[in-house]
A = this chain, B = another copy of it.
């Protein structure tokens, strides 16, 4: 196993292999304001202090300052890994970090953190809101390459915003899927959020799709979210039929989901149903169901697993979370990603936590004789980016 270098130069001999971030989002063009920063460290709905109700979880008498979302594994990881890249001591106080961030300005902070991450390619889900860098701008800022992943729900919501009637809506969805298959590297679905993962596995019939689209368009307010289960299945099957990889949110996320309905094992019947179509399914995040995800990747040839925000949010414990994914997942089926969104810190933290976890886990296994050094290097290359390059045709 290559030793983790102090100043990583991706691709340099002896360095950790260059990373492919197979699932991420854009970062803000400007900001966030210091008081809003910690809202990007949590999946909770966040209102900056003074604008909403006082947050439970603050403990002023302990430390003189209110506890914040900086007091989490992710918050500690940001202070550890990102502070030095901005010229500060690791674990400097949040206030110093935010002040330095404001002093440097968003473009400089973004460029520094992205270039320090060792990520050579980004696959960007462009379906999230906000004034975000485009994939091309992200690539430029990081001196890397970037490709698009199309979020199916956003595609359908855009089609609904523009559609005159049900027929034109469904025609536009078909056309948009077809067009995306030419330009994007894969699809992404958040059906976990909208319906849970216990889907009727079969594709819906045409009349069923029309009836569901009629209902949804009739009741929808402009900008309204798609959560109709028939239309969700229609989208999933449309994506599967293109043969491109389909990324599926599983496991934890923000409080809009019911976590117990996001267990990837609930997808089992859908996984079986789409097997003949050949499209790879990539299970995102998976936490805390990473062992079940590993089982699915082990027994279904077209299933892959990723860890996404699970490493970033568990910080000092990322090693154990990654280790559980490495129990059953065949080593050629596991993919690195950061799920970064909004702030560039999440790219650096996700990348460093993965590198550290992978390096130390495999170093320990080599030390105990369980793995050979060359296998450890080979598996690290696959997970870091080799498998993603093959899967997405980069």
Q: Is the beta-carbon distance between B317 and A326 smaller than 8 angstroms?
A: yes
Q: Is the beta-carbon distance between A71 and B332 smaller than 8 angstroms?
A: yes
Q: Which of B69, B259, B320 sits near A295, CB closer than 8 Å? A: B259
Q: Is the beta-carbon distance between A62 and B375 smaller than 8 angstroms?
A: no
Q: Is A10 an interface residue (CB 8 A)?
A: no
Which B residue sits closest to A77, measured CB to CB?
B370
Q: Is the beta-carbon distance between A265 and B255 smaller than 8 angstroms?
A: no
Q: Is the beta-carbon distance between A330 and B370 smaller than 8 angstroms?
A: no
Per-residue B-contact encoding for A113-127, CB less than 8 Å = 1, 0 else: 000000000000000
Point out which of A259, A316, A382 has the most chain B C-beta atoms below 10 A from its C-beta: A316
How often does this chain occur in the complex, in copies?
A: 3
Q: Is the beta-carbon distance between A266 and B260 smaller than 8 angstroms?
A: yes
Interface residues of A in 51-85 (CB under 8 A from B): 53, 55-63, 67, 69, 71-73, 76-77, 79-80
Point out which of A56, A280, A287, A314 has the most chain B C-beta atoms below 10 A from its C-beta: A56
Known pairs A43-B298, A280-B56; A265 contacts B260 (CB<8 A): yes
Q: Is the beta-carbon distance between A316 and B61 smaller than 8 angstroms?
A: no
Point out which of A60, A296, A298 has the most chain B C-beta atoms below 10 A from its C-beta: A298
Per-residue B-contact encoding for A313-343, CB less than 8 Å = 1, 0 else: 1111100110110111011110000000000
Q: Is A291 an interface residue (CB 8 A)?
A: yes
With a cutoff of 8 Å between Cβ atoms, the chain B residues found around residue A369 in the complex are 80, 90
Q: Is the beta-carbon distance between A288 and B298 smaller than 8 angstroms?
A: no
29 cross-chain CB contacts under 8 A: A42-B330, A43-B298, A44-B300, A56-B301, A56-B304, A56-B333, A57-B301, A57-B330, A59-B386, A59-B387, A59-B390, A62-B332, A62-B378, A62-B381, A62-B382, A62-B386, A67-B382, A71-B332, A72-B328, A73-B328, A77-B370, A80-B370, A91-B372, A254-B299, A258-B268, A258-B269, A315-B327, A316-B371, A317-B327
